[in-house]
Amino acid sequence: MSASHTNRLIQESSPYLLQHANNPVDWYPWGDEALQKAKTENKPILVSIGYAACHWCHVMERESFENETVAEFMNAHFINIKIDREERPDLDHIYMDAVQTMTGSGGWPLNVFLTTDAEPFYGGTYFPPVKMHNRGSWTDVLQAIHIAWQERPGEIKDQAAQLTGHLKKSNAFAVHADTEHAITNNREQADAIFEQIMKLADKEWGGFGRAPKFPQFFTIQFLLLYHHATANEGALGQAILSIDKLLEGGIYDQVGGGLARYSTDNEWLAPHFEKMLYDNALLIQILSEAFQITGNREYERAIRKTIGFLEREMMHPEGGFYAALDADSEGEEGKFYVWQLAEIEEELQGDSALFCEFFDVSAKGNWEGKNILRILKKLFDFANEKGLDPVLFEKKIDECLDKLFVARTKRIRPILDDKILLGWNAMMITALCKASAALNDSGYAALAKKSIEFLFKQLSKDGSGTDFFHTYKNGQAKYPAFLDDYACLIQACIHYQEISSSLQYLDHAQALTSHVLDNFSDDESGFFFFTNSNQFDVIVRKLEYYDGATPSGNSIMAGNLFYLSRVYDRPIWEKTADQMLNTLKNAVIKYPGSFGVWASILLKQWMGINELVITGLKTEGIRAQIMQQYIPNSIVLSSCKPVSGFPLLESKRFETAGLLYLCRDYTCKAPVHTVKELLLEIQKRVEI
């Protein structure tokens, strides 16, 4: 494109917006300039929402937004706004709800038409350049909207007002507090959640439901927790099957590490190849918990390989992590990741035949004439069938993968979305803390420290420590942080304190929680709004409850409130979390796939919380031993010397050798001296 086509997006930092900066479409970023121009010129607003790693966003750009004729029509009759959904998830949520209400489906790119008051009246997702598959062409849609705006403006505005009213009304979740049953130990309700999950479980390929298949980490996490509480082997089996199939599938990058977004088939073979930071953070969290339970060294390998990928390809030099890697390179989805048989034979020579058999590589290919590496038989079983030493075979496979990795570095890489998002980074810090704990790896703890310090330095406003920005790039932080950002940051502070004994991070968590209560609370529902009370550029303050690809801010906040209420003896915080959980309990039991984090919180409350306190000079070694264990329903506080401000640490003895206390509701058993003794005491109190 010529320089004359440069539009206002050239001033933005988002890689997605910058991708559109040279379109002939006169794109605006969301803001007063565009919204006021729509009013002044009385033109409808087109809002087009996507993200840098979105395959179909690139397709629609090439087909329509780079087309001079299409752009000319858009510029003449619309005010055109581009939004990065990862920068402005608040706007994405609102207009996605609108399109789903109108059409029954959603996705990206999201294209929605608004009145001059920013109220939606028509929309959809991808529109082709010519009519196909009962889907109108983009040009037809533009022309129809333009004519309707000219001929029936009053009708359109009435329709938009009705839809906006519906969005506001439906924002209140249609559930009511379960006043009949208090939240107590309840085996039957836990069993009911498990049974609902298993109805959708794929018992052959792992996961839940049918294609397109998403990892559903929160459901796997619940199964691990449920097994811990009930010793149900079916729960552990489905969780392990799901993890194993993910790691063996094409959705996991066998060469370089890292998980793609989701699988287009039931077997986890063919993903959409974009790699998101949050998916990989959640994978590391689940792998760490599974390793604590099983000791399976394959999970340790996967943790290290995934973190290695993130450090190598998605890490800011100062400590933060970038958002995503694109699915496409050279205009083709997955090109960077797939292989022809001849390429592998050239690189591996005499080792290629065995390698290709193990990874399902053939001349005809297993996906669109090409090959995605995947494992169909476990390495140990494959080696035994071939009469090979499994240890030596594993070493040979790793050598071959290293060769392919080097060969792949010569290819043109997918585009990196190098903005740093607060909430996603906080999830990654929690993942590093869990990995450090499970593997007793001080390097991952150091990486978590570096990253959390980066967030407090670069994304907090004026160094206040409680008022944060949502995104950071090229030295600039912007957009007020959302509920998810704060909730995940509080959670990260909690986890970092547990592995480091850095009690100041609990004080950070407490201060941030007070900030959320002051600025995000909805007194009517008892939950938290997605946006803060000082943000006025949205038509609806959304309440998000569902746990989807990422956890809802409300579910994470409920867990934070339960935890911190015990740490600081604040019963009102526990009461707030209880109310949130009680309001949703019936929905959680009925639809656990949509409320995965909530389900685990509910189960932990039924199990009861172990308050673990470590005192004395040998705190560090004892703490590391405890953190290697899977004790999910626990609070861990440790200090080598007396400290004020933490009720659980007060009135405790401090001895050189170290003491371990097991408490419930501030009532503590006599201290013990070894982790083994503590675990025996905990085991007596596990089952619900």
pLDDT of residue 1: 38
Q: What is the largest CA-CA distance in the chain?
A: 84
Q: State residue 110 phi and psi, 5-degree precision.
A: -105, 120
- Residue 100 pLDDT greater than 70, yes or no: yes
CATH number, residue 144: 3.40.30.10
Task: Provide the domain count of the chain.
Answer: 3
pLDDT tens sequence across 437-470: 999 999 999 999 999 999 999 999 977 689 999 9
34 within domain boundaries: yes
Q: Could you tell me the two tokens for 50?
A: 């996507």
Does residue 683 have a pLDDT over 90?
Answer: no
* 626 CB-near residues (< 8 Å, 6+ apart): 612, 614, 636, 660, 675, 678
Q: Domain end: 410, 437, 472, which one?
A: 410
Angle in degrees, CA 224, 305, 215, rounded to 5: 40
Give the pLDDT score at 547. Answer: 96
Please give the backbone phi and psi of residue 478, each rounded to the nearest 5 degrees, phi first. -155, 170
- Yes or no: say if 620 and 641 are a contact pair by the CB < 8 Å rule: no
Q: How far apart are CA 601 and CA 545, in angstroms?
A: 14
Q: For residue 4, name the pLDDT band (cuts at 50, 70, 90).
A: low
Mean pLDDT is lowest, of 131-135, 319-323, 618-622, for 131-135
Contact call for residues 537 and 476 (beta carbons, < 8 A)? no
Average pLDDT over the chain reads 94
**Among candidate residues 170, 188, 209, the one where a domain is terminated:** 170
Contacts of residue 150, defined as CB under 8 A and 6 or more positions apart, other chains included, come to none
Flag whether 116 is in a domain: yes
Residue 323 has pLDDT above 50, yes or no: yes
Q: What is the mean pLDDT of residues 604-612?
A: 93
The answer to whether residue 207 is domain-embedded is no
CA distance linking residue 12 with residue 20, whole number of Å: 10
* Out of 223-227, 328-332, 421-425, 525-529, least confident range: 328-332
Of 395, 410, 425, which closes a domain? 410
Output the pTM of the full model. Answer: 0.94
First and final CA of the chain: distance in angstroms? 64
- Span 18-35, mean pLDDT? 96
By the 8 A CB rule, do 633 and 604 touch?
yes
E strand or H helix that includes residue 302 = helix 297-313
Torsion on CA atoms 178, 183, 184, 188, rounded to nearest 10: 60
Q: Is the confidence at residue 125, as pLDDT, over 70?
A: yes
Q: Provide the percentage of residues in the chain whose pLDDT is more than 90.
A: 88
Q: What pLDDT is recorded for position 424?
A: 98
Does residue 121 lie in a domain region? yes
Distance CA 296, CA 443 (A): 21
Residue 418 lies in a domain: no
Residues 427, 484: Cα–Cα separation, whole Å: 10
Tell me the average pLDDT across 279-298: 98
Percent of the chain with pLDDT over 70: 97
Domain limits at 372? 337-410
Q: Does the residue 12 lie in any domain?
A: yes
Type of residue found at 424:
W
d(CA 340, CA 345): 9
Both tokens assigned to 71: 């752009």
Beta strands in 228-377 (DSSP E): 262-263, 271-272, 275-276, 324-325, 328-329, 332-333
Segment 612-649, tens digit of pLDDT = 999 998 889 999 999 999 999 999 999 999 999 999 99
- Residues 567-592, mean pLDDT to the nearest whole number: 95
Task: Report, as an integer, the average pLDDT of 105-131.
Answer: 95
Query: What's the whole-number mean pLDDT along residues 346-354?
Result: 96
Residue 649 lies inside a defined structural domain of this protein: yes
Average pLDDT over residues 593-615: 95
Residue 580, domain member (yes or no): no
The stretch 43-64 carries a mean pLDDT of: 93
Coil, helix or strand at residue 176: coil
Residue 91 has pLDDT above 50, yes or no: yes
- Give tens-digit pLDDT for 196-255: 999 999 999 999 999 999 999 999 999 999 999 999 999 999 999 999 999 999 999 999
Average pLDDT over residues 13-37: 96
Rounded to an integer, the average pLDDT of 171-193 is 66
Query: Which pLDDT tens digit goes with each residue over 363-403?
Result: 999 999 999 999 999 999 999 999 999 999 999 999 999 99
Contact predicate 465/456, CB 8 Å: yes
Contact 573, 561 (CB under 8 A): yes
pLDDT band, very low/low/confident/very high, at 115 (cuts 50, 70, 90)? very high
Does residue 685 register a pLDDT over 70? no
Output the pLDDT for position 464: 67
Q: Is the predicted pLDDT of residue 556 greater than 50, yes or no?
A: yes
